[in-house]
Amino acid sequence: MNNNIDDIFKNAAQNYSAPAPSNSWGKLDAALKSQQKALFIKKVYIAASVIFISGLALFFAFNNDVTEQGAIVESGKIEKQNTVNIVQNENDGIVKNSNQITSNSPVINNIVVEKAVSLPSESSLIVNEDIKKVDVRESISAINNFKEKKENKDEDKISSENKTIAQNSDIEVDANASVEIAGNNNFSEIDSQEDIAINEKKAKEEPVEALANIDEKHQNTIVEKEKITTEDVIIEVAVAGAKVEENSTTSNINKSAKEAPKATENSESIVANDIADSDVDAKSITENQIIKKDKPKTDLKFFIGQTFGITFTNAVSKDAVNSDPKLSIANNNSGDIWISASIDLGVEKDNFIFRSGIRLYNHEVCGDFEIKERDPYKVDLENFGISSLGYIRILNINTNVRLGNPLSAIYIQDFNRYNITVRYVDIPLIVAYKFQYKKFSFIPHVGLNTTFLISNDVMLESDEGYYMHGEIKEIKDYMFGISSGGGAYLNLGKHWMLGLDADFIYYPGSISSNPEFNYHPYSFIMGPSAVFKL
Amino acid sequence: MKLKSIEAILTACKKNKSWAQAELFELFSDKMFGTCLYYTDNKADAEDLLQDGFIHIFNNIKKYKQNNIEAWMRRVFINLALMQYRRDKNRLDIVDNNIEGVDYIEENNDSGLDKDDLMTLISKLPKQYRLVFNLYAIEGYKHREIAEMLEISEGTSKSNLARARNILQTKIKNNSI
């Protein structure tokens, strides 16, 4: 009997079914979309975090590499026109005339210091209070060598090799400055690294005293005639060996007699020869006469940018409503404005910027139409495969309309509005170049874009609120595009740049995998942008 | 509309294609809702179970590697029903011993014995009786397995099954008069 009962119910349960409530898919679909949205946001945050952390890791790894080279001191930054006072040791007989070249005294014109050399406290190089950034990049071991040699050799016969100044620091120089620096040939005669170390604070507070000390000790002479003002030129100077970088011309400051001959007739080398190396003629250096030597690998800059943009998109489909306007009217609202958001990570080197990131944006097509006589056979829609002649044949849309339900063929009079939203995540690979003008940066860029479809949504509505919800079938999961644009930024302090950025992206391929619907989407995105430089 | 094969639908479901999810739901929602009905007390709970079950299925369909999607889906629904039961049991300390099956049957006015009626009889059993009966008689589990699933003893499982049978027999007898 027990088995009999069991069998009765087991047989009844076999293939037992009951019609699910009609709205159950709608609820389920909404729950799934909510879940997917949350998942997507989570993925974006994870990706952004990975990019950010990777950037930081790279930055710090790189930074460590720099500091290991020793003697790197970062003190501050010049915020305005700078003045550098360089004290003259009169005993060395340095020529003070900025326009004149003496045999032993290189004259450097028009130097503006942004990053002053951080030298030992008793350095012969004095930076006044206007100099706020000191960035010494390498140890100045050459100075110690020089010291030893100095002890062993006659002062007047110091070889040019010993005079080579190690590249140690960066100095930004203003090409427009009217300052002249005359340094005597004893510039390389600094006793030791300790002697040269510059304490910026001390330099700020006691520039004259510091200079005086230096002069007394080493009898070096660095003559400062006038002010050095800052801006466009960057000179990377070391105590023994210098590097000059300029916006348009990057030059080396050669302090070696050996290298002096390299200073050609055009005299693009800065010669800061030792006094003892009197055979070498120092040449005056004008603002255009600075030549380049090596470039440190430390001028990579990392940055993170975020842009919120207003996005304009083209129509990615069309309405083809019956030609008789008395019967039907269609309005295409394609290309609605959407807010897009992006986050970028980039690296800058020599004003070239390479960046990538994530950008979220939408293509949207809206259509409103009115069928005056409610005659479905007078309307023909063509939109992503929504093709209709009297009724919407669901050719290219998957919907929640149940199989076998008469609604699988939606009569067009049942609705008069549709909305198609296609959502993408775009990953750009962008190359840009930065033009600097005072505190402004202008950054044009070009790039390649890979765009991934993350969702598409089709909704058909009526004034009564009826809707059919679905998605386009034949749409590509990803597209490749090209982009160009640019931004104008205001540099705010050391780290921040704020500005406007615009980008135009065009996708040569059709958005649809159905050859019948060959639409090439594009987007124009413009909005405020904030960049944080590491 | 051109119908896709179940393999194509499952493949698309694994890619989180919404249209495929809609089609899978379309194909199996009625059967699964039937299952939900005789594992729950009422239609509202069955609807909730249906939604939870399909969400679970869509989230875990990548793990599906068998040949029988219906059996797999059915097992998902049953497991969810059991989880719900265990959760309620821990929270509410359900004691089915207070429920007198005979009284319950006397209140029942069913008069048919078709599938729907039989399933209705099952759904109106006390919760623990219903689960034990479903798992034993319909799904074919052993008492030991049922005891583990419901976190009860084997003896309780056997007792519940006997009571459930008694209730159902009585009900069928009453309906056949």
A162-199 burial code (b ≥16 CB/10 A, e <16) = bbbbbbbbbbbbbbebebbbbbbbbbbbbbebebbbbb
pTM, two decimal places: 0.40
Say how many C-beta atoms besides its own lie within 10 A of residue A14's C-beta: 9
Cα A141 to chain centroid distance, Å, stands at: 35
Identify the CA nearest to A283 among candidates A263, A301, A308.
Answer: A263
Burial of A494 (0-12, 13-18, 19+ CB in 10 A): exposed
User: CA B44, CA A210: separation in Å to the nearest integer?
Assistant: 87
Supply the DSSP symbol for A165. Answer: P
Q: Does B44 touch chain A (CB under 8 A)?
A: no
Asked whether the beta carbons of residue A6 and residue B54 sit closer than 8 angstroms, the reply is: no
User: CA A255, CA A200: separation in Å to the nearest integer?
Assistant: 24
For an interface test with B, which of A3, A32, A452, A513 has the most B Cβ atoms less than 10 Å from its Cβ? A32
- The tokens describing B140, both together, are 């074919």
Which residues in A lie closer than 8 A to residue B27 (C-beta atoms)? 403
Asked whether the beta carbons of residue A5 and residue B168 sit closer than 8 angstroms, the reply is: yes
Asked whether the beta carbons of residue A24 and residue B136 sit closer than 8 angstroms, the reply is: no
Identify the CA nearest to B26 among candidates A23, A402, A19.
Answer: A402
ipTM of the complex: 0.80
Determine contact, residues A170/A111, Cβ cutoff 8 Å.
no
CA distances from B119 to A143, A480, B128, B174 (A): 96, 55, 16, 16
User: CA B170, CA B173: separation in Å to the nearest integer?
Assistant: 5
A146-193 per-position pLDDT tens digit: 555 555 554 444 444 444 333 333 333 343 333 333 333 344 333 434
Upper half-sphere CA count for residue B42 (Cβ side, 13 Å): 2
- What lies within 8 Å, CB to CB, of A526 at 6+ separation is A309, A310, A500, A501, A502, A503
Identify the CA nearest to A169 among candidates A216, A136, A124.
Answer: A136
pLDDT at res. B33: 92
User: CA B161, CA B83: separation in Å to the nearest integer?
Assistant: 20
Long-range interactions of B74-78: CB distance < 8 A, separation 24+ = B74/B31, B74/B32, B74/B35, B77/B32, B77/B35, B77/B36, B77/B39, B77/B49, B77/B50, B77/B53, B78/B35, B78/B39, B78/B134, B78/B135, B78/B139
Residue of B nearest to A408 (CA): B1
Q: What DSSP line would sit under B39-56, residue for residue?
A: HSSSHHHHHHHHHHHHHH
Beta strand residue intervals within A86-139, DSSP E: 107-109, 115-116, 133-136
Walking along chain B (177 residues) 10 residues at a time, the average pLDDT comes out as 71 85 88 90 88 90 84 90 80 46 39 75 88 90 88 90 89 68
pLDDT at res. A398: 57
Say how many C-beta atoms besides its own lie within 10 A of residue A148's C-beta: 12
Q: Does B8 touch chain A (CB under 8 A)?
A: no
Asked whether the beta carbons of residue B133 and residue A9 sit closer than 8 angstroms, the reply is: yes
**What sign does the dihedral A46-A48-A54-A60 (CA atoms) show?**
negative
User: CA A84, CA A109: separation in Å to the nearest integer?
Assistant: 12
Give the gap in angstroms from C-alpha A410 to the nearest C-alpha of chain B. 12
Which residues in A lie closer than 8 A to residue B16 (C-beta atoms)? 36
- What lies within 8 Å, CB to CB, of A39 at 6+ separation is none
pLDDT at res. A315: 57
Asked whether the beta carbons of residue A31 and residue B165 sit closer than 8 angstroms, the reply is: no
The segments of chain A whose pLDDT lies below 50 read 66-140, 154-297, 319-323, 325, 327-335, 372-395, 400-410
Closest Cβ–Cβ partner in A15, A19, A398 for B19? A398
Q: Give the relative orientation of helices B115-123 and B154-176 as an angle to the nearest 10 degrees.
A: 140
Give the gap in angstroms from C-alpha A365 to the nearest C-alpha of chain B. 20
Give the gap in angstroms from C-alpha A447 to the nearest C-alpha of chain B. 29
Which residues in B lie closer than 8 A to residue A18 (C-beta atoms)? 30, 33-34, 37, 116, 119
Give the gap in angstroms from C-alpha A501 to the nearest C-alpha of chain B. 35
Q: Does B71 touch chain A (CB under 8 A)?
A: no
User: CA A105, CA A282: separation in Å to the nearest integer?
Assistant: 6
User: CA B123, CA B101: separation in Å to the nearest integer?
Assistant: 13
Asked whether the beta carbons of residue B19 and residue A12 sit closer than 8 angstroms, the reply is: no
Determine contact, residues A414/A355, Cβ cutoff 8 Å.
no
CA distances from A155 to A152, A185, A444 (A): 9, 11, 54
Closest Cβ–Cβ partner in B35, B119, B169 for A5? B169
User: CA B17, CA A106: separation in Å to the nearest integer?
Assistant: 74
Beta bridge partners of A135: A74, A170
pLDDT at res. B73: 92
Identify the CA nearest to B16 among candidates B53, B60, B48.
Answer: B60
Amino acid at A124: S
Determine contact, residues A413/A371, Cβ cutoff 8 Å.
yes
pLDDT at res. A38: 78
Burial of A403 (0-12, 13-18, 19+ CB in 10 A): exposed
Say how many C-beta atoms besides its own lie within 10 A of residue A30's C-beta: 12
Determine contact, residues A189/A218, Cβ cutoff 8 Å.
yes
User: CA B19, CA B13: separation in Å to the nearest integer?
Assistant: 8
Supply the DSSP symbol for A74. Answer: B
> Phi, psi (5° rounding) for residue A153?
-125, 160
Determine contact, residues A441/A405, Cβ cutoff 8 Å.
no
User: CA A251, CA A236: separation in Å to the nearest integer?
Assistant: 9
Amino acid at A278: S
Determine contact, residues A173/A233, Cβ cutoff 8 Å.
yes
Q: Where are the alpha helices (DSSP H) in A274-378?
A: none
Identify the CA nearest to A217 among candidates A182, A185, A189.
Answer: A189
Helix or strand (DSSP H, E) at A44? helix A24-67
Identify the CA nearest to A335 among candidates A367, A363, A369.
Answer: A363
> Phi, psi (5° rounding) for residue A477?
-75, -25
